[in-house]
Amino acid sequence: MVSTAQAVGRGSVVRPKVGRDDWIMRAYMLVIVLYLLVALAFPLYVMLSKSFETYAFRFDTVEFQVDRGEGWGETLNAMALGEGLGIVDPGTLVTTSDGRFPATSFFPDFSFRAKTLYRIRNTKEGSGGFLVKGRPATGTDWFELTSGEFRRVQIRPSQATGTGNYLSYFSTPALFTSIYNSLMIAVISTIVTVTLAFLYAYALTRSCMRFKGAFKMIAMVPILVPSLLAGIGLIYLFGKQSLVLKVAEWAFGEKTVAPWWDMLANGTYGPSEVYGPVGIVVASVFFTFPHALIIIITALSIADARLYEAAIALRAPKPRIFRTVTIPGARYGLISAAFVVFNLVITDFGVPKVIGGQFNVLAVDIYKQVIGQQNFQMGAVVSVVLLIPALIAFTVDRIVQKKQVALLSARAVPYEPKPSRRFDRTMFAYCCFVAFFILGVLAVCQYAALIKFWPYNLSLSLGNYNFDVMDGGGWDSYANSIQMAFYTAIVGTFMVFTGAYMVEKGKGFNSGRTGFQFLAMMPMAIPGMVLGLAYIFFFNHPNNPLNFVYGTMGILVICTVTHFYTVSHLTAVTALKQMDPEFEAVSQSLKQPFTKIFARVTVPVCLPAILDISIYLFVNAMTTVSAVVFLYSPDTTLASVAVLNMDDAGDIAPAAAMGMMIFYTNAGVRLLHAGLTRGLHRRTQAWRTT
C-alpha cells in the first residue's frame, strides 16, 4: 500500500494564511515595540554614548604672542610651552566640561603689574577655546590683552570621545568605593529581608495562628509608601532626638535612662549609626519586606503534602524535614526573592539619600554627580556601573523563574498545617513584632507630622501641612501626583494588556514576538535613576522631534509606565495564558474580528488581572522617586519628590506629613480596589472553580 504522503510527494510547507486580523495585530505589536524602543532602548543608548563623552584640554590648538616692550615675539604653541615647563601630563589634560586652565600658568614670569602685552588665539575653529573676561572665545582671531586682562584668561576643554571618564572613575577612590558599599548594603539587606520574610511567610502558611489575614495586610503596607518614609521614620525613632529615648525617659526617669542611652549612642551599634549603613539596611529591609514576602508565600503555598506525609512516615525529625523538604521546595522562591530584594536595594535612591549620611552608594552618586556637580558624563558612567549588578540579578532571577514552573505537579496535594500551641504562639509573637515595627514606623511619621516643633514644642498643630510655603511644590504636587498616577494607570494598563494580548494570542511572526518579550522584560533591569537620566539626554536633545514632551506630565507618565512595564506585562501574560486558545479559534471560524472576542470575552474574563495591573501602576506611580527625580518640571512637581526635597531642605516633619498623605491615598485606592475585585469576582468569575 502506498502511503498518501508518498503519493502526494513532498509539497511546500503549509503556512497558515495571514489574515487581516493578523496584520492588524502585528501592526499594533509594532507600535508597542516602537514605543519601547523610543522609551527605553534609544535613551539608554544615548546615555551609554554620553558616558564616553570626554573633556580634555587641547593645548596644541592655542597660541600665544608676548610683547615685553620690544614688539611682538615669536608665536608660541601652548602645548610646546607646557611640555617645556613640565606642567602638561595626561593627568592635567583630562577634565570635565567645567574644567578651566589659567593661561598664566604658561608664563612663570607672569605678573599682572607688568606692562607686558599678550595675544592669544585658537589655531582651529570648533575647539574648546578659552575664556576672555569670562566669555568664551572660539574664533581664530588674535585677542590682544594687557597683563591685567590676561590674568583672567582661562583655557576651556574640548570635547572628545573615549574611555577617559571610566579611567577617572576607577582612579577616584571616593567614587569606586561606592561599588563596594552598594554591594555590601544590598547583600546584607537581602540576607536579612529574606530571612525575616521567610519566617513571616512560614508563619502565614505553616502555622495555625490567628489573624493571618490582618498580618498579611499589615505586611503589605510598606508597598504603599515611598521608600524614603522608612528613613524618615527611623530618624524619628532612633535619631539624636529619638522618640524611643523620650518615651523611655518619661517612663523610667531621665537619670536612669541617660547612661544606658549614652552607652548605646556612643557604642558601635548605637543610634548614632542611624545615619549610615545600619540605617540604610534597616530602612531597606522595611521597604523590601513585602516584595520578598509575596514571592516566598507563593513558593511555600505550593508545597506538596504527600512529601511531608512520606517524611513523617519515615520518622524523620522535624529539623530534617525542614531541611530536606521545606527548603528545597521553596528554594526557587527564596532565590527569586533574594534577587528581587537585591535589585530593589541596590537601585534604591530614597533611603540612602535620606539616612545614608556620608556613606556613598551608587544611586546617590548619580544624583550627586548630576545635581551637585553638573557632571552629566560622570553621572552616565555611574549609571552604567549600576546597570551591571542590576542586570546580573535580573538575569539570574529570570533563569530561576523559568525553573520554578516545572516544580508544580498536577497530582500535588495542598499542605494543610496542623495546630501546635507552642509553635503557633511563637509564630504569633514573631508576626506581632514585625507588624508592630511596620505600623510603628508609620505611626511615628504621622505623629511627628502633627507636632509643632519637635522636640522643643510638642503641642499639636497642622502647620506641617502648609506645604505651599515649603520646597517641593506644595499641595499642587500632591494633586499632580494623583493625576500622574491616574494617567499612568489608565495608559499603562491599556498598553500593557493589549500588548500582552497581541503577543500571547497572535499567530506566526515568532521572531517579532520573541523580540517583543525581550523588550518587555528589559525595564525591570533598568534602575529608575538610570532611566530618568537617560531620558534627559534623549528627550532634551534639541534635534529630537519628541523634544516637546520634555518638562510635561507626558514624560513623567511615559517614564513611569516604562519603569514598571515588566511586572504589569507578566501579570497580563499570566492571566491570558489561563485562557484557552480555543476561544480565538472558535471566534475565527465564526468569522468574527479579533476585536470582538477581545472586548466581549478576553477583557471581562481577565478583569481582575487588569484591575491588579492598574492598581500596581497607580501605587508605584505615587511612590516612585528615582525614576522621576530628574524629569519633573515646576508645573509637574510630584508628592514623592516633594518628600525628598523637603527632607533635603531639612523640613523633615512636613516631609513625613506628605509621605503619609501618599500612604492614605494609596491605602484608600487599595481598599477601593479590594471592594471592586470582590464584587467582580461574584459577578463575572463564577465559572472559576477555585
Q: Which residues bind other proteins (CB under 8 A)?
A: 95-100, 102, 131, 133-136, 152, 154, 156, 172-174, 177-178, 181, 235, 239-241, 268, 272-273, 275-277, 353, 357-360, 367-368, 370-374, 376, 452-457, 468-472, 474, 536, 540-542, 547, 551, 633-634, 645, 648-652
Shortest distance, CB of residue 172 to other proteins, whole angstroms?
Answer: 7
The SS3 assignment for 119 reads strand
Per-residue H/E/C for 340-354 = HHHHHHHHCCHHHHH
Cβ atoms of 502 and 25 within 8 Å: the answer is yes
Give the end-to-end CA distance of the chain in Å, rounded to a whole number. 52
**Angle 484-486-487 from CA coordinates, rounded to 5°:** 65
Q: Which three cell numbers stand for residue 326?
A: 521545606
Cβ atoms of 224 and 620 within 8 Å: the answer is no
Q: Are strands 135-137 and 130-132 parallel, antiparallel or unpaired?
A: antiparallel
Measured from the CB atom, the residue of 43 and 472 that comes closer to other proteins is 472
Measured from the CB atom, the residue of 448 and 661 that comes closer to other proteins is 448
Residue written as grid cell 539570574: 396
Q: Which three cell numbers stand for residue 329?
A: 521546595
Measured from the CB atom, the residue of 566 and 636 that comes closer to other proteins is 636
Measured from the CB atom, the residue of 99 and 440 that comes closer to other proteins is 99
Measured from the CB atom, the residue of 93 and 201 that comes closer to other proteins is 93
Measured from the CB atom, the residue of 152 and 212 that comes closer to other proteins is 152
Residue type, 91: G
Shortest distance, CB of residue 424 to other proteins, whole angstroms?
Answer: 41
Q: Looking at the chain, how many residues does it have?
A: 690
Q: What is the DSSP letter of 162?
A: S
Distance of alpha carbon 380 from alpha carbon 387, whole angstroms: 10
Measured from the CB atom, the residue of 178 and 498 that comes closer to other proteins is 178
Measured from the CB atom, the residue of 254 and 309 that comes closer to other proteins is 254
Shortest distance, CB of residue 232 to other proteins, whole angstroms?
Answer: 12
Distance of alpha carbon 11 from alpha carbon 31, whole angstroms: 36
147: left (phi over 0), alpha (psi -120 to 50) or beta: alpha
Shortest distance, CB of residue 249 to other proteins, whole angstroms?
Answer: 13
Q: Among candidates 475, 525, 488, which has minimal Cα distance to 624? A: 488
Shortest distance, CB of residue 534 to other proteins, whole angstroms?
Answer: 13
Measured from the CB atom, the residue of 131 and 432 that comes closer to other proteins is 131
Q: Which residues pair with 280 in a beta bridge?
A: none
Cβ atoms of 118 and 102 within 8 Å: the answer is no
The SS3 assignment for 658 reads helix
Q: Which three cell numbers stand for residue 31?
A: 507600535
Shortest distance, CB of residue 171 to other proteins, whole angstroms?
Answer: 11
Shortest distance, CB of residue 63 to other proteins, whole angstroms?
Answer: 21
Cβ atoms of 415 and 207 within 8 Å: the answer is no
Cβ atoms of 546 and 55 within 8 Å: the answer is no
Shortest distance, CB of residue 659 to other proteins, whole angstroms?
Answer: 17
Shortest distance, CB of residue 372 to other proteins, whole angstroms?
Answer: 3
Cβ atoms of 690 and 267 within 8 Å: the answer is no
Shortest distance, CB of residue 665 to other proteins, whole angstroms?
Answer: 20
Measured from the CB atom, the residue of 100 and 212 that comes closer to other proteins is 100
Cβ atoms of 526 and 44 within 8 Å: the answer is yes
Shortest distance, CB of residue 386 to other proteins, whole angstroms?
Answer: 17
Measured from the CB atom, the residue of 382 and 652 that comes closer to other proteins is 652
